[in-house]
Amino acid sequence: MTALGTVARWIESIGPSTPDADAIAAVDELIPIGPEQRDYVVRFCSLIVLSASIAAFGLLADSGAVVIGAMLVAPLMTPIMGAAAATVTADNRKLVRAVAIIGLGMVLAIIVGWTMSLIAGGTVVDVRALPQEIRSRTFPGLLDLGIAISAGAAAGYVLPRRSAISALPGVGIAVALVPPLATVGITAQLGLATESRNALLLFVTNLAAIIFAAGIVLIFSGFRPVVRTSRGVLRRRVAVTMALVLLVAVPLFLHTRSVLDDQRLQNSVVRSVESWDAEVRIVEITSDVADGRATVELLLSGRGDPEPVWELAEQIRERFRGPVDLQVLYQSDQSYQVSAR
C-alpha cells in the first residue's frame, strides 16, 4: 500500500464512516436552496449591513463591547461553514454559491465601513491617531492566526451537532470577521492604504484558516466527497476543490511564515538583550522581517553606558540567522545604528 493509501485508511479508521442524518441535515441547511434562497440572501445582506454598521461605529468609538455586539449579529459564519463543507464533500455547486455569498458579504461590509467613516470618521492625519480597536486590526500576528485556526475548528465541530449549538455565539465572537472588513473600509476612506491592505490580509488569512480548520474537523466528523456521480464528474469536482484548497493554503502559508518569522525575531531580540547586558531593560521593541532581513528598533534604559551595540546586533544575527539592521535609543538621548550581515 502506498503512503497516501495508508494515510487515507487511517483517516477512514479514526472517524465515523458517514455522519448521521441529523449532521448532514444541519450542514445542508446552512445555505438554503430553491425558493428559500432569496429570503436567505435578503436576510444575509440585511444582517451584514447592520453588523458592519455596528462594527464601524464601535471601531470609530474605540468600544470593544460594541464591536463584540457586531460579531454576534454577523451572519458570515454560515456561508463560510458552507464553503468548508462543500470543499470537504467536493460539492462544487454549493461551493460556488457559498463563495459568492462570502464575496457579497465582504463587499457590503467594506462599503458600509467606508460610508460610516465618511459620515463619522473625521480627519485622521496620522496612523497613531487611529482608535486602538482599529489599529489592532491592522497588525495581523501569530495570535490572530491561532485564534482563527481554533475558532474554525470549533465551528467545524459545533455546526453538525445541534446539541452543541449553544457554543455558536462564542465561536462567532472568536471568528470575528466583520470588524476587520469594516476596518478595511474605514482605513481606505481615510486614505491609509497600508493599514487597509493589512486589515484585508487579516481577513483573508482568517478566512483561509477558518475554512481549513473547519474542513479538517468536518473530515474527522465523517464528511467525505459524495461518490454518487460518475468518475469524470467526481474528478472534476475534486480538482476544483483542490484548487480552492490551494487558494486558501497559499495566503495562509505566506502569512504563517511571516508571523512565525516576526515571532522568532522578537524572541531572538529579547534573548540577545538579556545575554548582552544584564543591566539593560527593554522599554519598547519595534521589529519587522521583510525579504529575510530583520529591522529592529529598540528603546532601552539602564545604568551607565551600555555594552557595545555592535555586539548586540551580532548576537541577534546569530540567533535570528539572518541579516539585521538595528537601531538603539538608549536613555532617550544616545542613539546607535548597526547593520550585521
Partner 1 sequence: MKYLTALLVVASSLLAACAGEGSPDQTPQAITVFGPWIGSDADAFAAVLDGFDGAEVRYTGSADFVGDLQARISSGVGLPDVALIPQPALIEELASSGDLVPFSDDVVSAVEDNFTSDSLRLSTDGKLYSIPYRSNVKSLVWYRPDVFDTNGWDPPTSLDELDALVNRIETDTDMAPWCFSISAGGQTGWPATDWIEDLVLRQAGPDVYDQWVDGRIAFSDPMIRNAFEAFDELVLSRGRTFGGAQAIAEVDVARASGPLFTDPAGCAMYKQASFATSWFANGTTIGADGEVDFFTLPGTDVGSSPPLLIAGTGAVQLADRPEVSELMAYLASPDGGRAWAERGSYISPRTNVDPDSYYRGSDIRFGALLKDAEVTRFDASDEFDSALRSAMLTGMTSWIAGRQTLDELLAALDAVRSPDPSD
Query: Where along the sequence are the contacts to partner 1 (CB under 8 A)?
Result: 14-15, 142, 146, 149-150, 153, 157, 216-217, 220, 260, 263-265, 267-268, 271, 308-311, 313-315, 317-321, 323, 325, 335-341
Which one, 96 or 216, has the nearer CB to partner 1?
216
Note whether 245 and 87 are within 8 A (CB): yes
Which one, 37 or 334, has the nearer CB to partner 1?
334
CA 254 to chain centre: 12
Which one, 109 or 154, has the nearer CB to partner 1?
154
Q: How far is the CB of 140 from partner 1 (least distance, A)?
A: 15
Q: How far is the CB of 50 from partner 1 (least distance, A)?
A: 34
Angle of helix 231-276 relative to helix 142-158, nearest 10 degrees, comes to 140
Which one, 55 or 211, has the nearer CB to partner 1?
211
Which one, 27 or 218, has the nearer CB to partner 1?
218
Residue 89: partners with Cβ closer than 8 Å, 6 or more residues away: 223, 224, 225, 226
Give the helix ranges, DSSP H, for the chain. Answer: 3-14, 21-28, 36-60, 64-73, 77-88, 92-120, 132-135, 142-158, 168-175, 178-189, 193-220, 231-276, 309-320
Residue 186: partners with Cβ closer than 8 Å, 6 or more residues away: 56, 59, 60, 113, 114, 116, 117, 121, 134
Q: How far is the CB of 139 from partner 1 (least distance, A)?
A: 16
CA 80 to chain centre: 13
Three cell numbers written together for 163: 446539541
Q: How far is the CB of 126 from partner 1 (least distance, A)?
A: 18
Cα–Cα distance for residue pair 250/205, rounded to 1 Å:
9
Burial class (CB in 10 A: 0-12, 13-18, 19+), 1: exposed
Q: How far is the CB of 93 from partner 1 (least distance, A)?
A: 29
Q: How far is the CB of 264 from partner 1 (least distance, A)?
A: 5
Which one, 177 or 269, has the nearer CB to partner 1?
269
Q: How far is the CB of 289 from partner 1 (least distance, A)?
A: 12
Angstrom CA distances, 236 to 5, 8, 84, 230, stand at 21, 20, 18, 10
Which one, 20 or 39, has the nearer CB to partner 1?
20
Which one, 139 or 310, has the nearer CB to partner 1?
310
Cα–Cα distance for residue pair 44/36, rounded to 1 Å:
12
Q: How far is the CB of 214 from partner 1 (least distance, A)?
A: 12
